[in-house]
Every structure is written in C-alpha cells, then in structure tokens.
C-alpha cells in the first residue's frame, strides 16, 4: 500500500480513537450521576463498603466478619480487600458516592495500565480496539469493581516486568491475585506460563511469581470458606467459576492478541494494512452480539436507572422486624432491596451472589424447611417478578406450609403470612418448635 494511503488509514484510526474516548467520557459521566449505581454486580460493593465504613466509624476497626449477610457466616472481605477498604475510607467523606467513584476510578486505572503495559498499542486503531473490547465495556456498567481493580494491578505488573522492575511487578501481581483470587489466580498463572517460553530470565520469573502467590493464599482461602462457596454445590460453583474466568480472560488476552496481529502487519505490510480497522470493527460489533449472553441490556439501563424504593416502603411499615434474618426473592431490582434491608437493620440469609441466593426448587416441604432452618430464616419476601422470571416452587411451598394446620413440627417450619399484596408477599417463619 502506498505510504500516503497508510498515513490516511492511521489518521482515520486516530479519529476513531478520539471518538471512542469521547463515548467513554459520556458513559462514565452517566455512571457518576448516580449516588447508587444499580446494576448486576454493583450492590455487593455498596453493601460491603458500607459495612466496613460503618465499623470504621463506630468501632474504629477493620471488620473481619460481616454477620448481616450470609446467614451470619459471611466475611467483610471475601475478596477486594484493597479497593473496598479504600472505598470505605472514602465513604466517610462521600457516602454512597464513594463506590460509584471507585467503579469509575477502577476502570480508568485499568485502561491506563493497559496502555502503559503495551505502549505499542497507544494510538490509532490499536488504541481504539482496546477501548471497545466488549468485556471491558461491560465491566463498569455491570459494576465489577473488584475485577476492574484486580485487572489494573495485573497490567501494571506486566508493565513493570517489561521495564525490568521485577520486585514491583511481583507486588502488583500479588495485589491482583489477592484482590480477586478466584479469577486472577488462573489468569496470572496463564500469563506467566506464556511468558515463560521466551523469557530470558526464567528462574527470576518463576521465583517472583511464587513470591506473588504468598499474600494471595489467605485471600483464596477466604473465598473457599465463604458461605457463597460452602452453600453452593461444587459442580455449580465450578461451572460459575469457569464461565466467569472464560469471559473475563478476554480483557487480559486481547492486548497480547493485538500485539501478535501488529507484528504480522510489520511482516506483511503490503496486504495486511486493513487488519487493524477490521479488528476494531469486529470488536465493535461484538459489543452488540454479547448483549444477550452477558445480559448487558439491563446493565446499560443502569445509566438511567434509579433505585427501586418498594423495600424502603416496607421497612417503614410496622411489619418490618429489624435484627431478624430475611430471605428476599426478587428479580429486576439489581439486588438493591437486599442492600436496603441491611442498611435498615435486617440480616440476610444469603450473600449478594446468585449462587448464594439459591434460586431453585425443593423436592419436598421437609427439604425446604431444612434449608430455611440451616439459614436461620425468620422472614421470606417473595416478589411477583421472582415468580415470573425463575418459576421455582418456593412461593407455592410457602403457601402450602401456611395452610398446613399442624404448623411447626420437627421436620417442617411454621409459616404465617405477614403481608399479602399485589407485588410481593411476606411470610414469618417459625423455625424453633417442639415435636408434635
């Protein structure tokens, strides 16, 4: 291709890059409009950061346990210690906006770390391609604060290693793995394994990598002893972990793939000039294709969504019982109802992860009763949105137990309707009773 045409293509890429930056400025501004940004994964961040900040303010200590979730067995930092603790300190000044700001800062840190680690990709079509990576695009609008920060640490580690700063690289890799061990441990292992094949200082690479694992081990242990892991069948937990890693690995792998493509262009510049624009277009189109798979239609709606206040109306009513454990079954609210309950003094039977919530059916009333007793449930809130989306038998089991004249027995819990309404019902659970 003539040099003049090459320059035109490159300048067009620069224009596209500027356009991608402008689009991100708009998206991030829309996120920052929200004191509480309600999306798929965002509310667990608000809940944990609020609890840690509250303990810092009231008790002047960093909590280890978080008894208000996970039927009293949860931890304040099942992961994300560094970003959540920093956000908790910021919460003392900004309140709930601290988490919203930290989502945006985590995204900006990840983008900056990617470009710093790979200066070869800082301009034109390559830079634009990095900005429209569909998994990167999804991360802030879904509210994946721990992943954003962990990935930023990892790319900063890669940049340090490429510049010969091995000790700093190991520290940053340790922070990445400790921040999100379930996702980052396999990803960092993969990056190190790939680098090993052409790394001239292999012994140093392995040694610093092993050193980076030391602080990640206790963080990984917390993941495996948390209620979300213990209460989830191993098969389901492994599938969920595999899906999560399989999707988010794209954020880590894409810069390496672009480096390979860029090298091919330098080898065959005459007939591969079109590859960079083509890669950008493919990634841009993938953003639309992955919408059903990642349910990002709901996430994009978060840019304009305001928190639903139905649960706030309930907690202001005489039926609400602070200090008791609630099981809330709802769809479409981004789990904001769970967050509102604990902010007003309730406890939750689960953590904020879908696996922990246990959206399923039970074979018998006895099995369901055993589940409620295991989780120390005092009240169950069932919304009609939950029934329409998940189609489980839990609501019908509650009604069946409420009609049972024998009430509470050795194998069955007692159930009493507290509120029956058009959008949600609330049932009181009698777990402790004598044999009949």
Percent of the chain topping pLDDT 90 = 76
Candidates 389, 371, 390, 388; CA nearest to 429 is: 371
Cα distance between residue 346 and residue 320, in whole Å: 9
Cα distance between residue 110 and residue 153, in whole Å: 8
Q: Which two tokens stand for residue 68?
A: 């208000």
pLDDT tens digits, one per residue of 235-288: 666 676 677 777 888 899 999 999 988 887 776 655 566 788 899 999 999 999
pLDDT in the model for residue 273 = 66
pLDDT tens digits, one per residue of 60-76: 999 999 999 999 999 99
How many Cβ atoms are within 10 Å of 187's Cβ, its own excluded?
21
φ and ψ of 380, to 5 deg: -120, 130
How much is the average pLDDT of 210-222? 89
pLDDT in the model for residue 151 = 97
Domain residue ranges in the chain: 3-301, 310-430
pLDDT tens digits, one per residue of 34-59: 999 999 999 999 999 999 999 999 99
pTM of the model: 0.93
- Contacts of 65 by beta carbon, 8 Å cutoff, 6+ apart: 74, 75, 76
**DSSP string spanning 164-230?**
T-HHHHHHHHHHHHHHSHHHHHHHHHHHHHHHHTT-S-HHHHHHHHHHHHTTHHHHHHHHHHSHHHH
How much is the average pLDDT of 114-138? 94
pLDDT in the model for residue 272 = 60
pLDDT tens digits, one per residue of 150-170: 999 999 999 999 999 999 999
What's the DSSP call for residue 269?
T
pLDDT in the model for residue 276 = 85
pLDDT in the model for residue 436 = 44
Candidates 382, 357, 372; CA nearest to 411 is: 372
Cα distance between residue 99 and residue 145, in whole Å: 8
Strand partners, 380: 327, 427
pLDDT in the model for residue 189 = 93
Vertex 109 angle, CA 108 and 111, to 5° = 65
């Amino acid at each position: 291709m003539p040099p003049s045409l090459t320059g035109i293509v490159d300048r067009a890429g620069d224009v596209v890059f500027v356009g991608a930056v402008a689009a991100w400025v708009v998206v991030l501004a829309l996120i920052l409009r929200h004191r509480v940004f309600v999306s798929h994964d965002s509310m667990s961040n608000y809940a944990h950061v609020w609890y840690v900040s509250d303990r810092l303010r009231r008790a002047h200590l960093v909590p280890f346990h978080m008894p208000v979730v996970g039927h009293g067995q949860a931890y304040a930092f099942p992961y994300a210690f560094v970003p959540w603790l920093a956000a908790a300190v910021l919460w003392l000044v900004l309140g709930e906006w601290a988490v919203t700001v930290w989502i945006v800062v985590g995204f900006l840190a990840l983008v900056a770390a990617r470009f710093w680690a790979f200066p070869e990709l800082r301009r034109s079509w390559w830079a634009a391609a990095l900005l429209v990576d569909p998994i990167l695009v999804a991360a802030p609008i879904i509210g994946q604060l721990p992943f954003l920060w962990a990935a930023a640490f990892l790319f900063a580690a890669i940049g340090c290693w490429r510049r010969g700063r091995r000790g700093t690289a190991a520290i940053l890799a340790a922070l990445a793995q400790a921040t999100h061990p379930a996702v980052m441990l396999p990803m960092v292992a993969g990056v190190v394994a790939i680098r090993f094949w052409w790394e001239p200082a292999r012994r140093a690479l392995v040694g610093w990598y092993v050193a980076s694992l030391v602080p990640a081990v206790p963080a990984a242990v917390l993941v495996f002893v948390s209620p979300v892991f213990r209460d989830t069948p191993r098969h389901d937990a492994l599938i969920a972990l595999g899906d999560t890693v399989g999707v988010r690995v794209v954020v880590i792998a894409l810069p390496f793939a672009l480096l390979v493509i860029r090298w091919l262009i330098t080898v065959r510049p005459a007939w591969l000039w079109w590859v960079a624009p083509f890669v950008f277009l493919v990634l841009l189109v993938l953003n639309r294709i992955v919408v059903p798979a990642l349910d990002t239609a709901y996430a994009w709606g978060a840019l304009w969504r305001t928190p639903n206040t139905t649960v706030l109306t309930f907690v202001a009513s005489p039926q609400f019982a602070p200090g008791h454990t609630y099981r809330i079954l709802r769809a479409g609210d981004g789990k904001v109802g769970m967050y509102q309950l604990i902010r007003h003094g309730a406890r939750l039977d689960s953590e904020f992860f879908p696996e922990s919530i246990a959206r399923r059916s039970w074979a018998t009333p006895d099995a369901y009763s055993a589940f409620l007793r295991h989780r120390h449930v005092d009240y169950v809130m069932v919304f009609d949105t939950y029934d329409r989306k998940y189609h489980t038998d839990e609501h019908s089991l509650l009604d069946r137990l409420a009609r049972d004249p024998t009430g509470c027995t050795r194998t069955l819990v007692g159930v009493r309707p507290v509120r029956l309404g058009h959008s949600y019902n609330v049932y009181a659970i009698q777990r402790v009773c004598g044999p009949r």
